[in-house]
Structure 1
Amino acid sequence: MKDDVVVLASDSLHGRQTGTPYEIMAANYIADRFKNIGLEPKGTNGYFQEFSFIDKSDPHGKVTYVSKAEDSTTTGTNVIGFLNNNAENTIVIGAHYDHLGMGIEGSLYRGETPQIHNGADDNASGVAAMLHLAAGLKNKDTNNNYLFIAFSGEEMGLLGSNYFVKNPTIDLKKVDYMLNMDMVGRLNKEKSIAVYGVGTSPIFKQVLFAYKGDLKVTENESGVGPSDHTSFYLMDIPVLHFFTGQHEDYHKPSDDSDKLNYEGMETITQYILSIITELNDDGKLAFRKTKNESEEVPAFKVTLGVVPDYLFSGKGMRIDGVSEDKPAQKAGMQKGDVVIKMGDYEVSDMMSYMKSLGKFEKGNTTQVTIKRNDSTLVLNVTF
């Protein structure tokens, strides 16, 4: 896995931006790895599935796919390999391989000189884990086939996975479930991992906790989230998404291969293999719709200027990073602080934090109550 990350996150690939020659170089590398592992090509052109779209400056705007690449379009390339066990159903295992190039929209780098965003954790780590799983599943757990997809266009709005589910190269009705890995390279000392989509099939929860070992699993029921599993959930396919958490190098040029926890990646892939093995003789899993938390989140008029700790399972919202010159920093908040109240609103978890944030407007001043180690502090925040 380290070898794969080092190649994919090297400066020579210039950040693997969708639609660039450097993305094609990364796609060719992944296709070669698929071939060497022994996977069959399952794209529309060998291992490749190209899709062209009109690039929207608004990342939340509706993308327009077009049938033919023209001057005003961008072309992305999914890379798809198939492990055929001649089974009735197929498990999809995916990870996006595109990143931010020299710093396209979404970059959190604030320097004046453009720099390569190597995206080692985001998401060379997920691709390397996917390749490791592909090799590990040869002649193992053969009651399903396996379709491995390296998605393009994730950073621009889940474009590659969205295109695939609308233009699948296998029968989607035969897909048992989908596993997604996005940022799995930074397992911390507490061995905390977030798993999303736990509510999308009734069987998932018991299996996840039966095989977690010493991993500390933070579960999220929803099948909707900011990665490619969402595209499959919206097609009524059970999904699980694995994520080791945000960090200060996220979407910055400093997300490099020497900062990854490769032993942690091995732990995570063995955990995923155990889940696959346990489900191997369970037949086609039942799908269940979940309450999608993202639909309940209000539109924000203000920001606190912090990176939340998505792996925190205690009461409140723990801060994993504080942005320069934003309200939180000006109020004296620090990494590790836990927000437990904003104004009159109690903060018990991430959702209540976001709901309370949505109550404020620019120019408002309020008191924010935080826990710092064993102390409780009340800070004045102006948005």
Structure 2
Amino acid sequence: MRNLLFLIFLCVFISCQKNTNQENRIKEDVSFLASDKLEGRQTGTEGEKKAADYIRKRFEELKLSEKGTNGYLQAFTFKPKTNPHDEVKFDVNGDGSITGNNIIGFLDNKAENTVIIGAHYDHLGYGGDGSLYRDSIKAIHNGADDNASGVAIMLNLAAKLKNKNINNNYLFIAFSGEEMGLLGSNYFVKNPTIDVKKVSYMINMDMVGRLKKDSTLAVYGTGTSPIFKQTLRSHNNNFKLIQKESGVGPSDHTSFYLADIPVLHFFTGQHDDYHKPGDDSEKLNYKGMEIIGNYIFNIISDLNDNGKLAFRKTKNESSQVRFKVGLGVVPDYMFDGKGMRIDGISENKPAQKSGLQKGDIVIQLGDSLVTNMMSYMRALSVFKKGDKTKVVVKRQNKKVEAEINF
């Protein structure tokens, strides 16, 4: 009897150790996906195929069921857009077409509804149109934060959810083609491998690797289900939360929101290495990633007993504003003060030529006061090429005025 009890204890201990090891692999997963040998994981390249194979093997280790169209893989072929206003054409043949792969694993709890947890794994390769790198020397864009970080937390959640919160099934998707226009998520929604009418909600993680000292965490889509805001607040013991109601944004959650699925998108903010070769694995805040993973797990746990969540459409303010010109700045989307803080300046654009600087807070553009991102966009929308106007910024508690030539 004593030997039997010892064997039972040993089996439980080994099982716990394996689960713990899976949960503690965040840094290992990022280090591989963001290594030079994957050459930036651009969709359709050998580097992306190596990344896909790594994620497939991790899904096998986690004992997720295959839910692609070929094992874990869901291939999609497309022809890149030459006109940014055209729709991408899938399943095309002939020269110039590219094939990417979504990797899809399923945790089947025999439940009525399913939660989708996703993150894109592609990046920019050696740069291309999406790069903000201006050096003439060719360089790999490893994309540690964008978005090896999201994939690593997705895998972490897959380990955490084994035999937990079993009132839902969980579908884990590593998307390709995000950097080319949310292609992988768009394709999945149009060609789902499960019944999307049974999807309760979708969680997306994109650039969650650089939690700053003030612990600011942005969550988008908080208005897409009535229960989200309360749930986010009730489990927040660590973050300065910035909640954005809209379900539309520049990442894969948008594809699901447009299919009437509630979404939450997690994001730790932009930085100087965004879409540049400097986005490397040693610069990530791994402790912060662990805290974010625990936070998302607690949210999922809270929602475990709520059945299929109610969906609510949100006002997509940015889509209602059209621009003929731009300042040539990267807004700080994490800023929650008055005005629009500049997080980056593009070369040879109006802002740089007028002497604006990173960290400046735009408080007036032309005759319009700027109090937030929306008022900034409205103010910008009235100008056309050739116009001149004044801009007033707050720089280290001083007001600075400059002339802008569009």
- Give TM-score scaled by structure 2 length: 0.91
Work out which of the residue numbers 193, 215, 228 in structure 2 matches 1:191: 215
In the TM superposition, 1:302-341 aligns within 5 A as 302-341=325-364
- Aligned pair 1:210/2:234, yes or no? yes
Partner of 2:50: 25
Partner of 1:14: 39
Partner of 2:299: 275
- Aligned pair 1:91/2:128, yes or no? no
Unaligned stretches of 5+ residues in structure 2:
1-25
In the TM superposition, 1:234-253 aligns within 5 A as 234-253=258-277
Distance 1:6 1:352 in 2: 40
- Aligned pair 1:344/2:371, yes or no? no
Counterpart residue identity of residue 353, structure 2 = K
In the TM superposition, 1:1-383 aligns within 5 A as 1-66=26-91, 70-298=94-322, 300-383=323-406
C-alpha offsets along residues 125-179 of structure 1, whole Å, 9 cap, x if unaligned? Answer: 1101101111111111111010000001111111111110111111001100000
SS in 2 for 1:44: coil
Asked if the contact 1:196/1:223 (under 8 Å) is kept, the reply is yes
SS in 1 for 2:272: coil
C-alpha offsets along residues 319-342 of structure 1, whole Å, 9 cap, x if unaligned? Answer: 112233332223222222111110
The structural deviation recorded for 1:293 is 1.8
SS in 2 for 1:170: coil
Aligned-pair RMSD on alpha carbons?
A: 1.3
Count of residue pairs brought into register by the alignment: 381
Tell me whether 2-11 or 357-366 shows the greater mean CA deviation: 357-366
Distance 2:127 2:285 in 1: 24
Asked if the contact 2:318/2:377 (under 8 Å) is kept, the reply is no
The structural deviation recorded for 1:60 is 4.4
Asked if the contact 2:133/2:277 (under 8 Å) is kept, the reply is yes
Tell me whether 318-327 or 123-132 shows the greater mean CA deviation: 318-327
Q: 1:28 to 1:69 in 2, by over 3 A?
A: farther
Distance 2:36 2:82 in 1: 26
Tell me whether 55-64 or 123-132 shows the greater mean CA deviation: 55-64
Distance 2:51 2:35 in 1: 10
Counterpart residue identity of residue 200, structure 2 = D
SS in 2 for 1:381: strand
C-alpha offsets along residues 303-357 of structure 1, whole Å, 9 cap, x if unaligned? Answer: 2122111001111101112233332223222222111110101111111111211
Counterpart residue identity of residue 168, structure 1 = P
Same amino acid, percent of matched pairs: 67
C-alpha offsets along residues 71-90 of structure 1, whole Å, 9 cap, x if unaligned? Answer: 44211100000111111100
SS in 1 for 2:305: coil
Asked if the contact 1:85/1:144 (under 8 Å) is kept, the reply is yes
- Give TM-score scaled by structure 1 length: 0.96
Unaligned stretches of 5+ residues in structure 1:
none
Q: Kindly name which structure, 1 or 2, has the bigger radius of gyration based on alpha carbons.
A: 2
SS in 2 for 1:280: helix
Distance 1:248 1:72 in 2: 33
Q: 1:59 to 1:93 in 2, by over 3 A?
A: farther
Segments of 4+ in structure 1 off by > 3 A?
68-72
Tell me whether 247-256 or 5-14 shows the greater mean CA deviation: 247-256
Counterpart residue identity of residue 18, structure 1 = T
C-alpha offsets along residues 106-132 of structure 1, whole Å, 9 cap, x if unaligned? Answer: 111222232211111111111011011
Q: 1:116 to 1:350 in 2, by over 3 A?
A: same
